[in-house]
Amino acid sequence: MSLKRKALFALMQVVALPLMVPEIHASNVGVDVNIHLGNQPRPVVVAPPPPAPRPVVVAPAPPAPYYDDVEEDVDFVYPERLGFYVAVGVPYDLFYLNNVYFVFRDGRWYRSPDNRGGWYPVRYRELPPSLRRYRIERIREYRAREYDVYRHDREHYRGRHRSDKGYWKGVRHDAKEEKRFAKEQRKEDKRFEKEQRKEDKRFEKEQRKEEKRFDKEQRREDREFDRDHHGR
């Protein structure tokens, strides 16, 4: 190597030495920058979702009557154990008491002032006590026994019975039955209004409780925040 090249190589090493020293020291130096400007922001409190809308209670529509073809010639006997008239010789359960006809079909009860219809649904608890005293199977048993006596000695039958050619109508009691039905309908309307008011009060009470709970939770969060950041 010539003298000129040796001198140039030595000069380059001298120039590079200051640049290598900071790099060697920087590899062992960590930087921690932690800047605090003012107070930390308060935590964001997310309000709970609004309560579900108030349930709407829909008044049930009045039941529509249905009309059915009934035998025109219907015989009724009066089993003393039952205390009301039962239709015999027909393939359905038809009863007569308190000037009203009742029929049991497909597991449901119906009533009408006319044994030819229209028939209005009636709830079991609204039936006369005499009809609710026995199960329908027991009523059929009493009916069958009384009908056997009636058929075998119809001319000398001592029990109470009634029949009609065509169909019966409680003409004298139609107006009375209509008034009674209207009275029951008014009672049902009042009961519905009472339940609606009760539901409104319950909903308002639950809403107030939810608002109080949220306010209490908000105050607790504020106290914890103030204690952690200003009470030190």
Answer left, alpha or beta for residue 75, where phi above 0 means left and psi between -120 and 50 means alpha. Answer: beta
Least Cα distance to 159 among 147, 173, 175 occurs for 147
| Residue 118 contacts residue 112 (beta carbons within 8 Å) | yes
Assess if residue 103 is contained within a domain.
yes
* pLDDT tens per residue across all 232 residues of the chain: 566 666 666 656 655 555 554 554 444 444 454 544 445 556 655 666 767 666 655 545 444 444 455 555 788 889 888 989 999 888 889 999 888 899 999 999 999 887 766 788 999 999 999 899 999 999 999 999 888 888 887 777 777 866 655 444 443 444 556 667 667 777 877 877 888 888 888 888 888 888 888 888 888 888 887 777 765 5
The number of CA neighbours under 13 Å toward the Cβ of 230 is 9
Assess if residue 44 is contained within a domain.
no
101 forms beta bridges with 96, 112
Assess if residue 203 is contained within a domain.
yes
Instruction: Let me know if 103 is exposed, middle or buried by CB neighbors in 10 A (0-12, 13-18, 19+).
Output: buried
> Looking at the structure, do residues 199 and 164 belong to the same domain, yes or no?
no
Q: Measured between alpha carbons, how far is 142 from 115 in angstroms, rounded to an integer?
A: 21
> Looking at the structure, do residues 186 and 137 belong to the same domain, yes or no?
no
Phi, psi of 64 (to 5 degrees): -85, 135
> Looking at the structure, do residues 164 and 183 belong to the same domain, yes or no?
no
> Looking at the structure, do residues 85 and 150 belong to the same domain, yes or no?
yes
Assess if residue 41 is contained within a domain.
no
Domain count, the chain: 2
pTM score, whole prediction: 0.44
- The domain boundary, picked from 132, 153, 169, lies at 169
> Looking at the structure, do residues 193 and 155 belong to the same domain, yes or no?
no
- Its domain, for residue 177, covers 173-217
> Looking at the structure, do residues 121 and 105 belong to the same domain, yes or no?
yes
> Looking at the structure, do residues 87 and 162 belong to the same domain, yes or no?
yes
The DSSP secondary-structure symbol of 78 reads: -
